[in-house]
Amino acid sequence: MTFATGDIVQPTKGGPAMSVVKVENDLVYCEMMDPGEEKSKAFKPQELTLYKEEGDFGVC
């Protein structure tokens, strides 16, 4: 899967939502989206999937 800066992703095995900050040299650099945390980490593309909320929240 191909990712772009600004995509919201999460690890395929589950985990927190992260924002893609750059894609470089076959690595996807992500930043945690939890308030107060500015941790970033590099992943291989096959380790990530686009973030998807679980459940049906209906129309607000």
pLDDT in tens, the chain (60 residues): 899 999 999 999 988 899 999 999 999 999 987 766 668 899 999 999 999 877 655 565
Record the pTM.
0.78
**pLDDT score recorded for residue 18:** 93
Q: Which long-range contacts (CB under 8 A, 24 or more apart) does 51-60 make?
A: 51/8, 51/9, 51/10, 51/17, 51/18
**pLDDT score recorded for residue 34:** 73
**pLDDT score recorded for residue 60:** 58
